[in-house]
Amino acid sequence: MGEIVVVRDGRGPEVLLVHGGAGPRTTWGALAPLADRWTLAYVHRRGYPPSSPPRHGQDFEVDALDLAPLLVGRPHVVAHSYGVLGALIAAAAAPSGSVRSLTLIEPPLTHLVPDDPEVAWLERTGDAVLTHGMDTDPVELRKFLRLAGAPVGGGPLPEDVAAGVRRAHGGRLPSEARPRLDSIRAAGVPVLVASGGHAAAMERICDALATALRGERSVHPGAGHFVAAAPGFAARLETFMRNPGRARATSDS
């Protein structure tokens, strides 16, 4: 299938940035100043130029295979939304010590919170968008897109938003993902789970993920789903990456 494209900027320890449904510029633009002290490695997942299109739609298992060789240099990994799924699968399969830290931002790991009506709606509607694309019920589609951070008003969908829906259409459903969280926890990978404080269902998922991985937890309101752009997030991320074992060492003492 060919290799994906990774664009690097800056100097210092590598930070592998794995975007979700939106591209790297939208997802990670607010982190650009960190390039003064870190090497920011912007992954372009399949279907996001200049990487090649996927053969059969977005697939977190393919993402994991693409990410695996990028872990050789022992980077910090920061992943957002759908991109978290492939990042977790790759980290769980990697040899111990391959990942310096994991920062996980609002992943669609709905199975971590069973029997919750709001989480169930998020799973059901997210799966519908990937299954039906622009033919998803219009009301549900707009509600989901707003939660996902898309600029959706009352008129027709902006063309870039519609293009994103079409790109996601036919992708592998996030509800199918079952990354080996036990393997990551056993390997002692330091974890930070971050959210934007804009959706109760997402907060519960992030709480559950942080508990499962014995990770640090932070909430950064102000940018919705695009948490990396929220006030204070870049500083929190940098503090975590400079001392990623702090929370676990404290809890284990």
Q: What would the pLDDT profile of 41-64 be if each residue is shown by its tens digit?
A: 999 999 999 999 888 889 999 999
Query: Is the pLDDT score of 252 beyond 70?
Result: no
Sign of the dihedral through C-alpha 131, 135, 136, 141: positive
Of 198, 199, 195, 194, which is closest to residue 119 (Cα–Cα)?
Answer: 199
Sign of the dihedral through C-alpha 52, 58, 62, 64: positive
Boundary (domain end) residue, out of 135, 168, 201: 168
- Position 2 confidence tier, pLDDT thresholds 50, 70, 90: low
pLDDT at res. 246: 64
What percent of the chain is modeled with pLDDT above 90? 87
Split into its structural domains, the chain has a count of 2
Mean per-residue pLDDT, 223-243: 97
Boundary (domain end) residue, out of 130, 148, 168: 168
Mean pLDDT of the chain, nearest integer? 93
150 with 34, same domain: the answer is no
Query: Is the pLDDT score of 226 beyond 70?
Result: yes
Mean per-residue pLDDT, 177-198: 97
94 with 18, same domain: the answer is yes
21 with 92, same domain: the answer is yes
125 with 247, same domain: the answer is no
99 with 194, same domain: the answer is yes
Query: Is the pLDDT score of 88 beyond 80?
Result: yes
pLDDT at res. 16: 98
What whole-number distance in Å separates Cα of residue 148 and Cα of residue 186?
31
143 with 130, same domain: the answer is yes
What whole-number distance in Å separates Cα of residue 227 and Cα of residue 136?
26
pLDDT at res. 251: 37
96 with 121, same domain: the answer is no
196 with 73, same domain: the answer is yes
Q: What would the pLDDT profile of 97-150 be if each residue is shown by its tens digit?
A: 899 999 999 999 999 999 999 999 999 999 999 999 999 999 999 999 999 998
Residue 227: domain span: 5-113+177-252
What whole-number distance in Å separates Cα of residue 102 and Cα of residue 25?
20
78 with 104, same domain: the answer is yes
In this structure, are residues 107 and 132 in contact, taking their beta carbons and an 8 Å threshold?
Answer: no
State phi, psi for 223 to the nearest 5 degrees.
-135, 15
125 with 23, same domain: the answer is no
Query: Is the pLDDT score of 188 beyond 70?
Result: yes
92 with 136, same domain: the answer is no
What whole-number distance in Å separates Cα of residue 91 and Cα of residue 83?
12
79 with 152, same domain: the answer is no
CATH number, domain of 190, equals: 3.40.50.1820
Residue 21 DSSP one-character state: S
pLDDT at res. 155: 85
